[in-house]
């Protein structure tokens, strides 16, 4: 089994087409022999799932291996493909459908070690096995983030921000639903400033399914379809949204709920935008995003590593430099933060530093962005 795996991986690392073809052929030969000898294809293994342990009582076309059940390695019973070859053991060994099924399973199961070590080469290697069977790699998502996708019930709205129903966070962020205009939902983006006027930025954890590893504003999330956070009809004070913001400041950054009161978060405006996650086009955003701006004690006593990897205090004069870093590909920014930073953030920031943030409030408007 190990020889078969290294034969395939060796060809992938060599990179040459001929070497790849040779490695795939060698992989099939060695994997089949391993199957016959109770190797990598027997039983439930981490890399090749779905194959039963062979029935030792079954008849085998290979007398020398009959005691190991070579003939019934396939979960489909004794039926095998007609293709056959002569193995190094001097016996006629049939390539079973179970072996083909096992090859397909490479892409359907998490091959964690290979994925960690080889990254993109693992994906290309799986593609090279298409001649043996249809291979599709499944992305391994974080368990807690998957739980939240099912547990959180978002507020579905129309473009006037009128409540039309509810749906799971998962439903709201699948591009298949977004492309059909079924998933517009409420969200919020908090811009929290220190007493000295610095903006608290967070870098989204790599565990995040939606826009991992991006720098963004202090907190971004969703009010939930619960009595405390559902404003129906839309509330001019955004009472439920601000409660949700206080909840998420604690969940993501460890800021106790009394440290930044809801009333200290000013409801500035709303934007409607749509964006896909670039590196994983299964997911995206389509939101009516409430923008909340506040100033106060912005200390972050306990980051939640499943949500946030680090924080940064950004000075007013550094904003343009951050946007240029994104243009040069030195950092990644969330799409909503970039849109807000380019259009509204400079004037909000200046008003906040001048002590007159209220002059920029535009809470009655909904700005639809391309």
Q: Catalytic positions, please?
A: 220, 287
Give the three-state DSSP class for 331: coil
Measured CA angle at 211 (ends 209, 212), to 5 deg: 70
Taking residue 277's Cβ as centre, other Cβ atoms within 10 Å add up to 19
Give the three-state DSSP class for 94: strand
Taking residue 201's Cβ as centre, other Cβ atoms within 10 Å add up to 19
Phi, psi angle pair for 336, to nearest 5°: -70, -40
DSSP letters, 223-286, are -BSSTTT--SSPPTT-HHHHHHHHHHHHHHH---TTTS-GGGEEEEEEEEEEEE-TT-TTBEEE
Query: How many helices (H) does the chain have, and how many strands (E)?
Result: 12, 12
């Amino acid at each position: 089994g190990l020889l078969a795996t290294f034969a395939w991986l060796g060809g992938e690392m060599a990179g040459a087409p001929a070497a790849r073809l040779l490695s795939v052929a060698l992989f099939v030969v060695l994997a089949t022999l391993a199957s016959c000898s109770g190797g990598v294809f027997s039983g439930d293994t981490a890399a090749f799932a779905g194959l039963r342990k062979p029935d030792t009582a079954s008849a085998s076309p290979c007398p020398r291996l009959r005691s190991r059940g070579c003939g019934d390695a396939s979960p489909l019973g004794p039926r095998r493909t007609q293709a056959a070859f002569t193995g190094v053991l001097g016996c006629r060994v049939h390539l079973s459908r179970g072996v083909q099924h096992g090859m397909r399973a490479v892409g359907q199961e998490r091959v964690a070690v290979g994925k960690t070590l080889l990254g993109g080469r693992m994906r290309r290697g799986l593609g090279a096995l298409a001649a043996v069977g249809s291979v599709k790699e499944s992305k391994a998502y974080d368990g807690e983030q998957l739980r939240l996708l099912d547990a959180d019930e978002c507020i579905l709205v129309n473009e006037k921000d009128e409540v039309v129903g509810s749906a799971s966070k998962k439903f709201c962020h699948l591009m298949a639903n977004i492309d059909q205009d079924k998933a517009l939902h409420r969200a919020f983006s908090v811009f929290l400033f220190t007493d000295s006027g610095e903006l608290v930025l967070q870098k989204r954890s790599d565990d995040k399914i939606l826009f991992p590893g991006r720098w963004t504003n202090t907190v971004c999330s969703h009010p939930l379809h619960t009595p405390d956070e559902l404003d129906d009809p839309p509330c001019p004070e955004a009472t439920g949204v601000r409660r949700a913001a206080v909840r998420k400041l604690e969940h993501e950054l460890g800021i106790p709920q009394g440290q930044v009161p809801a009333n200290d978060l000013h409801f500035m405006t709303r934007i409607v935008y749509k964006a896909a996650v670039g590196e994983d086009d299964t997911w995206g955003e389509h939101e009516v995003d409430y923008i909340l701006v506040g100033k106060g004690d912005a200390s972050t006593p306990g980051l939640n590593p499943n949500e946030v990897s680090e924080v940064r205090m950004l000075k007013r004069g550094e904003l343009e430099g951050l946007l240029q870093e994104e243009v040069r590909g030195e950092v990644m920014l969330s799409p909503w933060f970039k849109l807000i930073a380019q259009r509204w953030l400079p004037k909000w920031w200046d008003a906040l530093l001048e002590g007159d943030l209220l002059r920029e409030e535009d809470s009655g408007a909904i700005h639809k962005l391309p």
